A and B are shown apart, each in its own frame.
Chain A
């Protein structure tokens, strides 16, 4: 049985050799590349396997907008809320110790370039911006492989009736499940230590209006981004939990390494349930109704996992190129996807001007990415991933517990002098980190978080 789709009912046009460039995947990276190339006069075909862009996509999520705002008029973008508070929370089994930031400045435009969005709406809108610049969007079409001619990549195979579509340039923007790039040997399959499984629910509060505003202390379009780590979030796995507020819904989820998911008896769904029932989390999401359950993987190998970004006739962008920063404090891929799509699009437009298709003609893309925040941030935090891995028991289990104990001691209300409380608090933390020497070593190891 073949599904009935709109595109089958009209005469299927033949796209072979009609375009200057083909983009595989209308996610953030793909639409950014298509928009950039269309802007510079190229005929672009943007291919998406979902029935519309975003139909098969999901993320946390907060969209970081420094680049996208430069590429298009962002004023009527379908954003949910701007992020007015970021909260980082350590959860032990029963306790929470949190740091919260609510700078006044985030209430002012451009709101620190951080907005909650839902990908169904947002990806569709962003692809439309590329289409308005002249790109052709082809939905419900899966790219199944690449065509090579004379040793270079010369187009794509698809699951359409006239499957083969040739074009001088192909941009691979297929996300972390990069079957096409891997199938063409442009990159290796990531190991499961470097990929996280993310599960998420979108929750609605049918019983009462303004629940989100009240529970999260919000007015108007302000929203929150809460990150959780430690035992109470994802057990002893490497990863964390998140809560983001949308306009009328809340996104809640967990993401942790597949390596750890495989080692655990608890399934990702059960991990999500456990996180939701933590005493510090449950009150935020009680009496909610699940309006969507979803899952997706996150590539998190960091700088060491970036494949060769350009090939003869092709470039790899966004999650397909492993461009995600996920280290506990940061979970950022949207900004890197857009930035990489933009640089790749520019490099291809420049090469097309000169009529050249070789990888050397596309070098401007890796070069500008190297100079951008993308590679700089990924390289800067590579050490952190490795250090956190080494210290995971301490960071995810012992410290959250020690901080909770220290806090409890420090503020203990009894008839002892406060000085003795402070002393107990100090010793709770010191014993977790291995005394003053241990603390000094840790401080030295993690000093780069703030430098």
Chain B
């Protein structure tokens, strides 16, 4: 059956606006990395890119993902997603990184 019901339009924020709601303190350098670049070059799935809810991981021209670490919500999904265990994942030091106001 399925008719198209009346649905109000939602104004969803862009990723940029969404991330803007989260307080951020730059730890200075990235808490994320890849272990072996060659592994990423061979990797065809780029699961790190697919699962990231904050658009941190982006496909790079050379096959090695680019990491916009300042976007990171520290959720850890990329660490579990990579089937080659090729993600270096550490916490930003001394409370730096993101802070949620509500949670």
Contact = CB atoms under 8 A, between A and B. Distances in A.
Interface of A: 1-3, 5, 8, 49-51, 54-59, 92-95, 118-120, 123, 139-142, 159-160, 176-177, 179, 189-192, 195, 197-199, 201-202, 249, 258, 261-262, 264-265, 267-269, 273, 276-279, 282-283, 285-286, 290-297, 404-405, 408
B21 A293 contact: yes
A128 to B, nearest CB: 16
A294 B74 CA distance: 9
Given A292-B100, A295-B73, A264 B94 contact: no
B7 A120 contact: no
Interface string B1-38: 11111111110110101110110011110000000000
A139 B53 contact: no
Nearest to B6: A279
A269 B5 contact: no
Contacts of A197: 51, 53, 75, 77
A294 B73 contact: yes
Query: Size range of the interface on B?
Result: 35 or more
Given A2-B93, A177-B75, A179-B89, 20 more contacts: A1-B26, A55-B100, A120-B103, A258-B81, A262-B45, A262-B50, A262-B81, A269-B15, A269-B53, A273-B12, A276-B10, A279-B6, A282-B10, A283-B7, A283-B8, A285-B10, A291-B101, A295-B53, A297-B75, A297-B77
B103 A179 contact: no
B75 A140 contact: no
A292 B91 contact: no
Contacts of A405: 1
Contact of B103 (A59, A262, A276): A59
Contact of B18 (A50, A286, A293): A293
A264 B46 CA distance: 12
A118 B47 contact: no
A293 B13 contact: yes
Contacts of B89: 177, 179
Interface string B58-99: 000000000000000111110111010100011101111111
A9 to B, nearest CB: 13
6 contacts: A3-B26, A5-B94, A118-B102, A119-B100, A189-B85, A261-B51
A267 B19 contact: no
A401 to B, nearest CB: 8
Contact of B95 (A139, A190, A285, A293): A139
B7 A277 contact: yes
A142 B21 contact: no
A93 B94 contact: no
A177 B13 contact: no
A185 B94 CA distance: 24
A246 B54 CA distance: 24
Nearest to B48: A262
A198 B15 CA distance: 16
A282 B79 CA distance: 32
B91 A49 contact: yes
A295 B80 contact: no
Contacts of A49: 91, 95
A54 B80 contact: no
Nearest to A266: B50
A268 B10 contact: no
Contact of B52 (A118, A119, A249, A267): A267
Contacts of A189: 79-80, 85
Contacts of B55: 267, 269
Given A93-B2, A139-B95, A296-B75, A268 B51 contact: yes
Contact of B21 (A92, A279, A292): A292
Given A179-B89, A192-B80, A282 B7 contact: yes
Given A1-B28, A3-B25, A139-B95, A249 B102 contact: yes
